[in-house]
Every structure is written in C-alpha cells, then in structure tokens.
Amino acid sequence: MDLVLQLALDPDRPLNRSVYAALREAILERRIVPGSKLPSSRALATDLGVSRNTVLHAY
C-alpha cells in the first residue's frame, strides 16, 4: 500500500493523536478504502519517523 500521511504536529496534542487524526482523515477521504489493510505498525512508524509504540497507540 502506498499511503502518504501528513502529520499535523501540535505541541498540545500527543503524537499518537496526530497519527490517529491522519489515519482518520485518510479513511474519510477514501485514500484508505473499506476492506483494505492498514500498513503494518513497523512500516508506518518508519514512514512517519515515529516509534512503533506511537503507531500502536494510534491503531
């Protein structure tokens, strides 16, 4: 899956909430379609430059 997410970094919001918001936006915009698999937590963490735990909390 070639998913590109843009994180809106906000110093008042935890990073996992920013990842969650980016995933939610991708779903609402149909860049992630129903029935498709999300990227693995390791792959998404690497792509976003965050820890795997951050992605796991967002998932």
pLDDT tens digits along 2-59 = 788 888 888 999 999 999 999 999 999 999 998 999 999 999 999 999 999 999 999 9
In-domain check, residue 31: yes
Identify the pLDDT of residue 6.
84
Identify the pLDDT of residue 3.
81
In-domain check, residue 3: no
Identify the pLDDT of residue 1.
56
In-domain check, residue 4: no
In-domain check, residue 33: yes
Identify the pLDDT of residue 23.
95
In-domain check, residue 30: yes
Identify the pLDDT of residue 10.
86
Task: Please give the Cα distance from 1 to 18 (Å, whole number).
Answer: 20
In-domain check, residue 19: yes
**Domain tally, the chain:** 1
Identify the pLDDT of residue 8.
83
Residue numbers of the domain that contains 52: 15-58
In-domain check, residue 23: yes
In-domain check, residue 6: no
